[in-house]
Structure 1
Amino acid sequence: MRKKRPADAAAASEPEDWTAAAVEAAAVRLLARREHSRVELGRKLRARGIPPELVDEVLAGLAARRLQSDERYAESQVNSRVSRGQGPVRIRRDLSQQGLPENEIDAALEAAGVDWYELARDARRRRFGAEAPGEWKERARQARFLEYRGFTGDQIRAAIGD
């Protein structure tokens, strides 16, 4: 019969005396799964009980060796969200919440080279069909959908057919 581990067993199995090498190994394991912003990675490492000054030191080293890059993170997030049909307003807000600076968000959105008007039209078409809405109630419903997706007012009006 297997013994049950307590809920905090994962935290208990982590070393109490963190070394830079152990912190770096933990950070690299997280980065191996997916890209993380520096703020997000720091938050996850500090949640494990690692001293903040050690986290900052290790993250600086990872960034210097380009193992962690906010630029790469922003680019991957923008591409992922564009493929899901999300607009620039929502992408910008979500990246900002992850601690990315505005200039990196702007650069990632610019580098994506997306025609946001066409993406809004495509998102509307996929959800509601090719025919433009005729009555006001349906137009409002589709506009709310596109607004939730993160498109601007101009992009929404162009997608609905104003």
Structure 2
Amino acid sequence: MSAEPADSSEAIRECCIRLLARREHSRLELKRKLEARDFSRTEIPAVLDTLIEENLLSDQRFAEMFARTRCENGQGPVKIRADLQARGVDAAEIDRSLELVDDTWLNYCRAAWRRRFGVAPSDRREWSRQARFLAGRGFSAELVHRVLDEAANEKENTDT
């Protein structure tokens, strides 16, 4: 048991290190978690600034990891962007992290479609249902149309 009070900078730092050891966090996420644990709101910013200076906390690293993980789980750039904004990552960092996987969005959209459906829509209602699913996963309308059009073309080619 530590002899220091719960509000000390050292206790805040130790808590941050434990949280960061599990996974990357954005500055805002850590701030919220620390505030929820009743640490001093006046000491938290200074500790977070120190962690950033020591490169233990990085919104850029967090955004890259977050975008990569969410892509692999079948989410698109629109949803990922919104989630990163909600976690306090600035627009420039979001753009940078999404550019890292920019060339693979179409492949991720195809994979999400295949996992869920795998069969081209047979009518307009089914097309709309599949499009809503992909849009809900955060893929742009352009990507959704492209994937569903490809599926329809493949279906036509195999039917002939």
Does the pair score TM above 0.5?
A: yes
| 8 Å Cα contact 2:28/2:88 also seen in 1 | yes
Shift of 1:114: 3.6
Match of 2:148 in 1: 160
Output the aligned Cα RMSD: 1.6
Return the alpha-carbon distance in structure 1 between the equivalents of residues 116 and 100 of structure 2: 27
Identity of matched residues, % = 43
Q: 1:59-85 deviations in whole A, cap 9, x for unaligned?
A: 000000010110111011001001011
Which amino acid in structure 2 is aligned with residue 95 of structure 1? L
1:42 counterpart = 2:40: no
* Partner residue of 1:55 out of 44, 52, 55: 44
The amino acid across from 1:161 in the alignment is D
Match of 1:133 in 2: 121
Match of residue 106, structure 1, among 73, 89, 95: 95
For 1:22, which of 2, 11, 17 is the aligned residue? 11
CA contact (8 A) 2:72 2:108 kept: no
State TM-score, norm by structure 1: 0.86
Indicate which of 91, 95, 101 corresponds to 2:84. 95
Q: How many positions carry a matched residue from both structures?
A: 148
Give the deviation of 1:51 after TM superposition: 1.6
Q: Is the 8 A contact 2:131 2:144 kept in 1?
A: yes
**1:72-125 residue CA offsets vs partner (Å, 9 max, x unmatched):** 110110010010111000000011101111110000001224422222122111
Q: Residues of 2 paired with 1:107 and 1:34: CA distance?
A: 20
Unpaired runs of 5+ in structure 2?
A: 151-160
CA distance in 1, matches of 2:111, 2:102: 16
CA distance in 2, matches of 1:51, 1:80: 32
Aligned partners of 1:157, 1:48: CA distance in 2, in Å? 46
- What do residues 38-59 of structure 1 show as CA deviations (whole Å, max 9, x unaligned)? 0010111111111222000000
C-alpha separation in 2, matches of 1:33 and 1:119: 26
TM-score (norm 2): 0.87
Gaps (5+ residues) in structure 1?
1-12
In structure 2, C-alpha distance between the alignment counterparts of 1:116 and 1:17, rounded to whole Å: 45
CA distance in 2, matches of 1:65, 1:73: 15
Q: Tell me, in whole angstroms, the C-alpha distance in 1 between the residues paired with 2:9 and 2:103.
A: 41
Kept in 2: contact 1:86–1:150 (CA 8 A): yes
Residue type of the partner of 2:141? Answer: G
Displaced runs of 4 or more, over 3 A: none
